[in-house]
Amino acid sequence: MRIDYIGKKTEKKILAKAKSLERPIKNIDGSLLLKGDNFVALSSLLPFYASKIDLIYIDPPFNTNQTFTVDDKRVSTISRKKNAMIAYSDQMNPPEYIEFIRERLILLRELLSERGSIYLHIDTKMGHYIKIIMDEIFGIDNFKNDITRIKSNPKNFMRKAYGNQKDVIYFYAKNKDKNIFNNVTIKLDENDKARMFKKIDKDGRRYNTVPVHAPGETNGKTGSEWHGMLPPSGRHWRTDPAKLDKLNELGLIEWSKNNVPRIKKFADEHKGKKIQDIWNYVDPAYPIYPTEKNLKMLEMIITQSSNDDSIVLDCFAGSGSTLLAAQNLGRKWIGIDQSDVSHKVIKKRLKDAFYEYIEL
């Protein structure tokens, strides 16, 4: 699968361009903040960090044909004040935009480790084109998820279309069989507990019950008699009869009026819900930077797809939320942005962090 357009370069030409633009950057044993064009910055990182980055999250411009500004009191897409500063300009024609993203994705692929992953945050206007580009660069077999992110509360729109509440995140692995994925779960909220655990015991603990048997027959202890009964045909006890006796002694087996046993499962012992591909992480109500994303979402991504010894990279650092999330979780990080406004915000948010700062 590939997409063709005017101005599309070969990978060989892009990598040669990167080689020619390398600037001297020493190998930093810690976090790193770079100011400058991110193609140049990524090119300069390659000699030291190729195949060493475990997690990349990027939130590039969405090709909105807007200029984003910020002043001391508010963030805006259209500045009404003479003293408002331009955070960044998001104005390219579609082929230019696609190639802009593609060139950087090729360098990011070279930086990813074999256990690495990339999350690319984009809107639905250009996302479908970028998905094809990512299939080209990372391989369609390494595609993991197309994640829907609920970005805002419902809004009223004048246009003749449905309201726009979502954007998308494309999740790819460098190697689909080796990528870090820590099976992070989400704690149940009170509504979840009430829905999933409808019974309440004498101590006020919510619980539900599951059968004491499971599918499949066995010839071992889990297929033997317990309490004068055998498992139903085609099934076996979930654990051996001795352990079932212990559960029964502890009051953890509930017997129905028809003398059918079921094991109690308590809400406060539940390990949480597996995360699905629709995320409800609304943008901050009062952002300090035009593209600021939900910090909890970024902390979840980093917890899910990196380890304590991992390096996290964001080459469209913006407000620095990815860097702050990585810092909060004890990861090393590399942030890149060329905007003066971005660096002002990042330095303020990471004022207590230790990192190397380099202007290219």
pLDDT at 89: 54
**Distance between CA 173 and CA 171 in Å, rounded?**
7
* Arithmetic mean of pLDDT, 275-281: 97
**Distance between CA 20 and CA 12 in Å, rounded?**
12
* Residue 88: band (very low, low, confident or very high) from pLDDT cuts 50, 70, 90: very low
Tokens 């620095």 correspond to: 320
Q: Supply the angle between the helices 38-49 and 11-20 in degrees, to the nearest 10.
A: 90
Residues 32 and 331: beta-carbon distance below 8 Å: no
* Residue 159: band (very low, low, confident or very high) from pLDDT cuts 50, 70, 90: confident
> Which of 21-35, 177-191, 289-303, 319-333 has the least mean pLDDT?
21-35
Segment 51-79, tens digit of pLDDT: 999 999 999 986 555 554 555 555 444 44
* Residue 249: band (very low, low, confident or very high) from pLDDT cuts 50, 70, 90: very high
Mean pLDDT of the chain: 91
C-alpha distances in Å from residue 165, one per residue of 37, 280, 283, 344: 31, 10, 11, 30
> What torsion do the CA atoms of 243, 245, 247, 250 make, to the nearest 10 degrees?
-140
* Arithmetic mean of pLDDT, 140-153: 96
Q: Are strands 332-337 and 32-35 parallel, antiparallel or unpaired?
A: parallel
Helix H or strand E encompassing 290: none
Q: What domains sit in the chain, N to C, each tagged with a CATH number?
A: 11-184+275-359 (3.40.50.150), 190-269 (no CATH)
**Distance between CA 334 and CA 56 in Å, rounded?**
10
DSSP sequence for 264-309? EEEGGG---EEP-SEE--PPPSS-SSTT---HHHHHHHHHHH--TT
**Distance between CA 251 and CA 46 in Å, rounded?**
60
C-alpha distances in Å from residue 25, one per residue of 229, 240, 332: 72, 61, 17
φ, ψ of residue 108 in degrees (nearest 5):
-65, -40
pLDDT at 68: 42
Helix H or strand E encompassing 213: strand 213-215
- Write the burial class of residue 334 (CB in 10 Å: 0-12 exposed, 13-18 middle, 19+ buried): buried
**Distance between CA 250 and CA 225 in Å, rounded?**
20
Token code pair at residue 170: 């494309």
Segment 183-216, tens digit of pLDDT: 999 999 999 999 999 999 999 999 999 999 999 9
pLDDT at 299: 98
* Arithmetic mean of pLDDT, 10-18: 97
* Residue 157: band (very low, low, confident or very high) from pLDDT cuts 50, 70, 90: confident
> Is 288 a residue whose pLDDT tops 60?
yes
pLDDT at 48: 93
pLDDT at 77: 46
* Residue 279: band (very low, low, confident or very high) from pLDDT cuts 50, 70, 90: very high
Token code pair at residue 270: 């539940």
